[in-house]
Amino acid sequence: MRHRSIVVLGLLLACTACSQQHEGNAPTSGAPSAPSTAAPALATTSSTPSGLTYLYDLMQRPDFSTAFAALSGADQLPAWAKQGGVATPAQQVVLDGHTLLLAAACKPHDCPSERILILYDESTHAMSGLFARRKPSAANDADSNDPANDDLLWLGSPDQRSKQLLHHMLYSPN
């Protein structure tokens, strides 16, 4: 679907601006908004002065960082993922009638090798996610749209619909 290419495009744009983010400044360019007719519905959030919120920004919020620290599997993540990495703007996702934040990020200077997606419910503070790391046996130029090239780590206890959404956002072409 188109959402996958929007996330990938945003991650690629974020990679080019990662030196700005490492200085504590979020990149100024973001991913284009998805059409409102697609399901799940996605929309860019606007809670920072730049009008965009990134995983790094969310990690600064006590509600989000507390939920992230308590997330099962978070202790297995690399440092960049706990700090926010190189990210695209967080999106609002409507899943089964609930509005969630979807935050996506990747490893600085090496996006294809490690990627993370986090779903967060701001009202209940429930969180789940998916972390993908390129398998050691995969070639450096292996297709990042092929889940066979990655080891997956499910974070928290995502239900089946959340798993489908996260997997779809990470791997579905177009």
Assign residue 48 the CATH number of its domain. 3.40.1420.10
**What confidence category does residue 172 fall into, taking pLDDT thresholds of 50, 70 and 90?**
confident
Provide the 8-state DSSP code for 114.
Answer: E
Q: For residues 150 and 34, what is the distance between their CA atoms, to the nearest angstrom?
A: 26
Whether residue 166 lies inside any domain: the answer is: no
Whether residue 36 lies inside any domain: the answer is: yes
**What per-residue confidence (pLDDT) applies to 151?**
96
CB 55 within 8 A of CB 91: no
**What per-residue confidence (pLDDT) applies to 68?**
97
Whether residue 163 lies inside any domain: the answer is: no
**What per-residue confidence (pLDDT) applies to 169?**
92
Q: What pTM, to 2 d.p., does this model score?
A: 0.73
**What per-residue confidence (pLDDT) applies to 119?**
97
Whether residue 173 lies inside any domain: the answer is: no
Q: For residues 24 and 151, what is the distance between their CA atoms, to the nearest angstrom?
A: 30
**pLDDT reading at 49 higher than 60:** no
| DSSP-based three-state secondary structure for 120 | strand
Question: How many structural domains is the chain composed of?
Answer: 1
More confident residue, 1 or 40: 40
**What confidence category does residue 139 fall into, taking pLDDT thresholds of 50, 70 and 90?**
confident
**pLDDT reading at 166 higher than 80:** yes
Q: Which two tokens stand for residue 28?
A: 């100024």
**What per-residue confidence (pLDDT) applies to 140?**
77
Q: Could you tell me the residue range of the domain that residue 61 belongs to?
A: 2-158
Q: How many CB atoms lie within 10 A of CB 94?
A: 13
Whether residue 30 lies inside any domain: the answer is: yes
Whether residue 25 lies inside any domain: the answer is: yes
Task: Read off the pLDDT of each residue in 56-70 and give the average, rounded to a whole number.
Answer: 96
Whether residue 40 lies inside any domain: the answer is: yes
pLDDT in tens, 78-122: 999 999 999 999 999 999 999 999 999 999 999 889 999 999 999
**pLDDT reading at 10 higher than 60:** no
Whether residue 122 lies inside any domain: the answer is: yes
| DSSP-based three-state secondary structure for 162 | helix
